[in-house]
Amino acid sequence: MREWTREERYRVLKSADEITDLHERIIKSSYRQAYHVQPVTGLSSDPNGFACFNGVWHLFYQWCPWGAVHGLKYWYHVTSPDLMHWKNEGVGIYPDCEYDNRGVHSGSAISADGRLYFFYTGNHRDEDWTRIPYTCAAVLGDDGKPCKLDKPLFGPRDDYSEHQRDPKVFYVEEKSRYYIFIGAQSLDKKGRVLVYSSEKLLEGWEYAGELKVPGYEDLGGMWECPCIGRVGDKDILLFSPQYTKLPGRGESTNHNIYIIGNMDYDTLTFSPSSDYRHLDYGFDFYAAQLASNTGDPDSEIIISWIGLPDNHYPTEEEDWEGSMTLPRRLTIQGDRLIQKPVDAVYELRGDKLSADGTLAPVCEVVAGFDGNDASLKLFTKADGSGGLRIDYDAGKMTCTIDRTGMDKRFNTQVGEVLDMPLGSPLKKLDIFIDRSSVEIFANDGEAVFTTHLYPTEREFNYAFSGAVDVEIWSLSSSVKDDFVV
């Protein structure tokens, strides 16, 4: 693994010419994806500024141009008419002010008064590398580029640690006010959410207090990327707790969970109506963000980073890493979120391939089950050995997913085997394969499992035991791998 100096990681990109060769080199990789948003060069991490505006979907990702490393971050901009066909638009927000001199960190978007606004964290660091996070805003100009305000909206509070970032902005009708949730860490290193509110979007922001989430005072040391949304008649709170291990999640200390409940803006209390669940049970899923202004009051749309902080992936050697998940539509059934890939993904289906025991690098596998024990192995060698094992245990109503059988193993210290508990007997797995990622939707979205995976040439086979009925569809490409900076 390459060691990067701070100087290399925080180098400012002066011209696109500096990374043309890098782009030319990485697009030759057999792991570049066909229908997922991925970095034009270097690293993409959190989704940012996700919103629908005038019929166009806007999405940004945290981008570090130089390689698969977390350094100086930009917001890289992509747009889509349908959430599947994405166009590279170039850098959206540059870290070019004193208040964001060490990165334009994560944030969100909202449309109001015929404009699209972005709220982000200006990651300022002093000469002695002390961090001062500012909450900043930008507005989408008529030229289609975000234009920053000339000064931050507010700075950090000194009764919390330096970890205060990732503004999620939203409007609360009943209060006729805008709100911002900020992910934070208390001075005694507990994960928190700080709430700000204002009558106007670009001025008048006041600290309203800390979000109370009864029962969650001790879960994790920092809550990154908090989000709140409404699905049907329930509120949902999403966040990525860090610096803690959670039951059933191996050695990982980074998670992305949700809680269903009720939000009271008078007391700033989110009252859970059931226990938290993992948004995704896979190895590589983090920093999920809900889209704004979807125009649908009954469901929400979510997108997330396929990757985890502190983890390392085989394409780092090629100087790129990380992509966005498929966007998913959220609804609620009982005490769990149902997550389905957006409808447009099914329009990518081409031919139905013969289910002859081989896999294509870009395809969808639909596997039917009868609720009894069964096993499906994807990416095995021709003799059926190795691969990504999916073992369903009917007694426990759980799929166990094991990637130890792959030729390319990675993040072995975090754990390579995880459970995906279901809410009903296994009937269906809808599996989206895109060269270096696999997303498994169980029972029409009852649970989801996302993982990076880097199959080698000899691994494009599958095998199963038990009553498994396999259908395979080719999928067409929907994201052009072009160089726009």
Query: Distance between CA 409 and CA 68 in Å, rounded?
Result: 18
- Contact between 121 and ligand FRU per CB under 6 A: yes
Name the residue nearer to ligand FRU (CB basis): 91 or 468.
Answer: 91
Token readout for 414 is 């975090």
Query: Distance between CA 44 and CA 71 in Å, rounded?
Result: 11
* Catalytic residue, candidates 17, 21, 46, 482: 46
Query: Distance between CA 119 and CA 152 in Å, rounded?
Result: 10
Rounded to a whole number of angstroms, the minimum distance from the CB of residue 253 to ligand FRU is 13
27 touches 429 (CB < 8 A): no
Query: x/- string (CB under 6 A) for ligand FRU, residues 44-83?
Result: -xx---------------x----------x----------
Name the residue nearer to ligand FRU (CB basis): 41 or 121.
Answer: 121
* 42-70 b/e (C-beta count within 10 Å ≥ 16 → b): bbbbbbbbbbbbeeebbbbbbbbbbbbbe
Rounded to a whole number of angstroms, the minimum distance from the CB of residue 166 to ligand FRU is 5
Binds ligand FRU by CB under 6 A, chosen from 138, 260, 279, 287 = 287
For 454, how many CA atoms within 13 A lie in the half-sphere containing its CB?
Answer: 18
- DSSP conformational letter for 175: G
* Sheet of strand 191-198: strand arrangement: 160-172, 177-186, 191-198, 206-210
283 touches 452 (CB < 8 A): yes
17 flagged as catalytic: no
Rounded to a whole number of angstroms, the minimum distance from the CB of residue 392 to ligand FRU is 32
Name the residue nearer to ligand FRU (CB basis): 280 or 430.
Answer: 280
Rounded to a whole number of angstroms, the minimum distance from the CB of residue 105 to ligand FRU is 3
Rounded to a whole number of angstroms, the minimum distance from the CB of residue 289 to ligand FRU is 11
DSSP 79-101: EESSSSSBEEEEEEE---SGGGT
Query: Distance between CA 325 and CA 341 in Å, rounded?
Result: 9
Rounded to a whole number of angstroms, the minimum distance from the CB of residue 224 to ligand FRU is 4
- Contact between 166 and ligand FRU per CB under 6 A: yes
Q: Which 222-261 positions form the footprint of ligand FRU (CB under 6 A)?
A: 224-225
Binds ligand FRU by CB under 6 A, chosen from 58, 124, 165, 389 = 165
Name the residue nearer to ligand FRU (CB basis): 224 or 416.
Answer: 224
* 352-378 b/e (C-beta count within 10 Å ≥ 16 → b): ebeeeeebbebbbbbbebeeeebbbbb
Name the residue nearer to ligand FRU (CB basis): 309 or 361.
Answer: 309
Taking CA atoms, 422 is separated from 278, 341, 360, 448, in Å, by 12, 18, 27, 9
- Contact between 161 and ligand FRU per CB under 6 A: no
Rounded to a whole number of angstroms, the minimum distance from the CB of residue 76 to ligand FRU is 12
Name the residue nearer to ligand FRU (CB basis): 255 or 377.
Answer: 255
DSSP 293-355: --S-SS-EEEEEEES-TT---GGGGGTEE-EEPPPEEEEEETTEEEEEE-GGGGGGEEEEEP-
DSSP 117-142: EEEEEEEEE-TT--EEEEEEEEEE-T
Rounded to a whole number of angstroms, the minimum distance from the CB of residue 467 to ligand FRU is 41
Q: Which 88-107 positions form the footprint of ligand FRU (CB under 6 A)?
A: 105-106
**Residue in the structure block whose two tokens are 């989110």:** 270
Instruction: State the number of binding residues for ligand FRU (CB under 6 A).
Output: 13
Binds ligand FRU by CB under 6 A, chosen from 309, 314, 415, 421 = 309
Name the residue nearer to ligand FRU (CB basis): 253 or 380.
Answer: 253
Query: x/- string (CB under 6 A) for ligand FRU, residues 330-369?
Result: ----------------------------------------
Name the residue nearer to ligand FRU (CB basis): 180 or 378.
Answer: 180
C-alpha 242: how far from chain center:
15
Token readout for 380 is 């095995």
Name the residues annotated as catalytic. 46
Residue ranges in contact with ligand FRU by CB under 6 A: 45-46, 62, 73, 105-106, 121, 165-166, 224-225, 287, 309
